[in-house]
Amino acid sequence: MRAVPTILHLDMDAFYASAEQASKPSLRGKAVVVGGLGPRGVVATASYEARAFGVHSAMPMAQARRLAPNAAYLIPRFTFYREISEQVMGLLRALSPLVEPLSLDEAFVDLEAGGTAWDEKSARLAGMKLRTDIRAVTGLTGSVGLAASKMLAKIASEQAKPDGLVLIRPGTERALLGPMSVRTLPGVGPATGDHLRRAGITTVDEIAEAGEDELVRLLGKAHGQALYAMALAQDERPVVAEREAKSVSVEDTYDVDIHDRIRVALEVQRLADRCVHRLRGAGLSGRTIVLKVRRYDFSTLTRSETLRGPTDDPSVVREAAARLLEAVDTTGGVRLLGVGVTGLADYTQEDLFAQAHLAAAEAGGDDRAQAEEAVPEPAEQEPPAPSEHVWRAGQDVRHPEYGHGWVQGSGLGRVTVRFETPDSEPGRVRTFRSDDPGLEPADPLPLVARSPEVADPDPGTAPSGAEA
Q: How far apart are CA 290 and CA 46, in angstroms?
A: 32
What is the Rg, in whole angstroms, of the alpha carbon atoms belonging to the chain?
25
CATH class, range 176-231: mainly alpha
Architecture of domain 247-362: 2-Layer Sandwich (3.30)
Q: Where are the domains of the chain?
A: 176-231, 247-362
106 is catalytic: yes
Q: How far apart are CA 184 and CA 59, in angstroms?
A: 20
Query: Which residues is 258 bridged to in the sheet?
Result: 334
Q: How far apart are CA 127 and CA 108, in angstroms?
A: 12
Quick one: pLDDT at residue 373?
30
Q: How far apart are CA 245 and CA 255, in angstroms?
A: 30
Quick one: pLDDT at residue 377?
36
Catalytic residue among 20, 49, 100, 106: 106
Quick one: pLDDT at residue 468?
62
Q: Hey, what amino acid is at 463?
A: P
Quick one: pLDDT at residue 380?
39
Q: How far apart are CA 158 and CA 153, in angstroms?
A: 9
CA distances from 453 to 83, 94, 140, 408 (A): 22, 20, 11, 31
Would the CA dihedral through 374, 375, 380, 386 be positive or negative? negative
pLDDT in 10s for each residue of the chain, 468 residues: 788 999 999 999 999 999 999 999 999 999 999 998 887 788 999 999 999 999 998 899 999 999 999 999 999 998 899 899 999 999 999 999 999 998 889 999 999 998 999 999 999 999 999 999 999 999 999 999 999 999 999 999 999 999 999 999 999 999 999 999 999 888 788 888 888 999 999 999 999 999 999 989 988 888 889 899 999 999 889 998 866 667 888 988 887 889 999 999 999 999 999 999 888 887 888 989 999 999 888 888 999 998 888 888 899 999 999 999 998 999 889 999 999 999 888 666 544 444 444 444 444 433 333 322 333 333 334 444 444 567 999 999 999 999 999 999 998 899 999 999 999 999 999 999 999 999 999 999 998 765 444 344 443 334 445 666
**Report field, pTM of the whole predicted structure over 0.85:** no
